[in-house]
Amino acid sequence: MILALFLVTGALPTLAESTAETKLYRGLSMDDLAETLLLEGLRFVQVPIDGKGMVANQRFDVSDGVEWSVLGYDCENKDGCSEVQLRSVFRDAAAQDVVLSKLNDWNAANRFTRAYLGNGNAVILEMDIYLHGGQSLKNIREQITIWRQSVRRFSTSMSSDES
């Protein structure tokens, strides 16, 4: 559906573009999320998971220089998943040596993402996209861009010698 709107946008730039960009999505199916990732030129693998009724029964693992995942939450309504989480888990040597002050500094300076220590000394970076009130495709794509920039900066800061 999203890809179709995008393709129409290319054919009729003024009317279709305004329609595609101003339509408000209150949820996205996992297929729509996949199409959105493809529009961003991202490669991903679809992974089946046990969502236990809270999360969609699949996630997308994206390879974008830094590995991260896309999960759909609150997917039981007619609009699809009304909450989307972008998540990266760092388990390398740099993550083992992280100090809480470094995560706190990140959280204080970067308001759209949050970083914390997870189980097994993993460091986790997350960002949520909340669709209940409605988001345009343009805004959803901009949030994915913010995430991509943030996860790269975070990965770099995790591997730097500054603690």
- pLDDT interval class at 162 (50, 70, 90): low
- pLDDT interval class at 98 (50, 70, 90): confident
Domain ranges of the chain: 25-159
pTM higher than the cut 0.85: no
Per-residue pLDDT reduced to its tens digit, 6-42: 544 454 445 555 566 689 999 999 999 999 999 999 9
Distance CA 57, CA 35 (A): 17
Task: Note the helical H segments in the chain.
Answer: 2-11, 15-22, 30-39, 93-96, 100-109, 137-159
Average pLDDT over residues 85-91: 95
Q: Which two tokens stand for residue 94?
A: 């740099």
* CATH number for domain 25-159, candidates 3.30.1460.70, 3.40.120.10, 3.40.50.720, 2.40.50.140: 3.30.1460.70
Average pLDDT over residues 71-81: 88
- The position carrying tokens 């083992």 is 96
Predicted confidence at residue 85, as pLDDT, reads 98
